[in-house]
Structure 1
Amino acid sequence: MTKPFLRLCGLVTILALAACTQAGDSAKPPAKGTAADDVGVTTESAAIAGATAPRSSGKTVGTSSIGVAGAQSAAQLDTTTGAEKAQAAAPTTAGRKLGVTIASLGDPSQSGFWIKTPLVKSEGNGRIVNPATGKSANVRLIPLGGPASAGSQVSLPALQMLGVSLTDLPTIEVYEG
């Protein structure tokens, strides 16, 4: 009876020593590419805390994608052809003015020249004008739920044609026809 007990005590001692060795490793700075790097925690602050940042079961989001190889520029997201750009830039006689709206960048992965706006009730062709620059673009008018005073979403190439920064919220005029 004493021998099995002594063996069990020896096993527990070995496990305890192994656990102490692993706990001592956590004081080392985390390796590059660990969760601490992914969430913007510096190696020094993680070492001071004595552990790496907590890991989540889902996708880890970094603090910034600027300069990351996977990030895409506006030019890379603009998939419109030269013919589409020429058609959007072609001069037309503006139809009836539907109103003015605050524009923001819509889904950059959706190609073409379009505006989603509450100023229209059905799809059709139209034109948007940036009164600050006088630049305009022929676009597809797409209804967007909400009151007429709500803002609109504009495609990436249409905003570029208007000469608007992708982070601005310009007031633009919307015409049908």
Structure 2
Amino acid sequence: MTRFLFIPAIVVSLAGCAVLEQAAAPPTGETVAETPTNAPPPPPANARTVEDFDTTSAEDRAAAATVSADGRLLGSVVASLGDPTRPGFWIETPLVSEAGRGRVALSGGKSVEVDLIPGAAGSRLSLAALRLLEVPLTDLPTVQVYAF
């Protein structure tokens, strides 16, 4: 008799998985920001330090730092640290409505080439971008955002 009760319990619990998976999916028409295909690898699961989370190479940092002063100014934003598990150089900001390439610059002149990712509210900079700009990770820097 207990076997007959056990099987329906498993079926009911597995049926709930589909409901949870469907609830986790974004609503129709909403996009999920993706990491570019040329991005560095994600940090390891056991990452604990800033160096563990920042998987960009010296070549990646040199390429992102050698950016021209070109681009169309989209505006200035106060940016916070974005998801440290998301690799690469990027900014998620409501200043753009579609993904593209650009740069962010501090008023002091330092700038870094980044992927521009649409964001709903607030602006978040990648760990690698903040490090290249030499901004403390707990600061809220004001950056100018440019699109190429």
Cα distance in 1 between the residues matched to 2:47 and 2:63: 29
Q: Which of residues 62, 74, 85 in structure 1 aligns to 2:61? A: 85
Which amino acid in structure 2 is aligned with residue 118 of structure 1?
Answer: P
The two structures, once aligned, show a CA RMSD in angstroms of 1.4
* Structure 1 residues without counterparts, runs of 5 or longer: 1-69
The alignment of Structure 1 onto Structure 2 pairs a total of residues equal to: 103
Structure 2 CA distance for partners of 1:75 and 1:99, relative to 1, 3 Å: same
Cα distance in 2 between the residues matched to 1:129 and 1:93: 9
Partner residue of 1:130?
106
Partner residue of 1:167?
138
Partner residue of 1:56?
none
Q: Which of residues 96, 119, 123 in structure 1 aligns to 2:95? A: 119
Report which structure shows greater RCO (CA 8 Å, sep ≥6): 2
Cα distance in 2 between the residues matched to 1:83 and 1:71: 21
Cα distance in 1 between the residues matched to 2:139 and 2:100: 26
Task: Give structure 1 regions of 4+ aligned residues with deviation exceeding 2 angstroms.
Answer: none
* Structure 2 residues without counterparts, runs of 5 or longer: 1-45
Q: Following TM superposition, by how much is the alpha carbon of 1:160 offset from its aligned partner in structure 2, in angstroms?
A: 0.8
More strand by share: 2
Q: Which of residues 138, 143, 147 in structure 1 aligns to 2:118? A: 143
Q: Following TM superposition, by how much is the alpha carbon of 1:71 offset from its aligned partner in structure 2, in angstroms?
A: 7.2
TM-score (norm 1): 0.55
Cα distance in 2 between the residues matched to 1:120 and 1:158: 18
> Which protein has the larger Cα radius of gyration, Structure 1 or Structure 2?
1
Q: Contact between 2:89 and 2:128, CA under 8 Å: does it hold in 1?
A: yes
Cα distance in 2 between the residues matched to 1:87 and 1:72: 26
Q: Percent identity?
A: 50
Q: Following TM superposition, by how much is the alpha carbon of 1:94 offset from its aligned partner in structure 2, in angstroms?
A: 2.1
